[in-house]
């Protein structure tokens, strides 16, 4: 069984900007080290890119994620 690739993207460490620029309604999947996976669409990204709100798939509401919550982006974006 192959484990998914995870990327912890730090765009500007000195400014603590951890999440990359994400567009509103962009599909996103996050996973933590225990394998708990959240997927949905970006609702809002804070100006300092430390927090983001996602609308969870399957009508499960929305979730606020801080960069220190232990979630990283799951590598689902096509290369190119």
Give CA–CA dist 39/56, Å, rounded. 6
Q: What is the pLDDT of residue 13?
A: 42
Mean pLDDT for all residues in the chain: 79
> Which conformational region is residue 58 in: left (phi greater than 0), alpha (psi within -120 to 50 degrees), or beta?
left
Is pTM beyond 0.75? Reply is no
Beta carbons of 76 and 29 less than 8 angstroms apart: yes
Q: What is the pLDDT of residue 5?
A: 45
Instruction: Assign domain 19-74 to a CATH class.
Output: mainly beta
pLDDT exceeds 90 at position 65: yes
Q: What is the pLDDT of residue 29?
A: 95
Give just the sign of the alpha carbon dihedral 5, 10, 16, 18: negative
Work out whether strand 62-66 and strand 72-74 pair parallel, antiparallel, or are unpaired: unpaired
């Amino acid at each position: 069984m192959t484990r998914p690739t995870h990327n912890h993207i730090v765009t500007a460490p000195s400014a603590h900007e951890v999440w990359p620029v994400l567009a509103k309604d962009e599909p996103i999947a996050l996973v933590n080290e225990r394998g708990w996976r959240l997927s949905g669409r970006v609702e809002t990204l804070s100006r300092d890119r430390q927090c983001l709100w996602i609308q969870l798939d399957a009508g499960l509401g929305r979730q606020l994620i801080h960069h220190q919550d232990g979630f990283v982006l799951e590598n689902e974006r096509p290369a190119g």
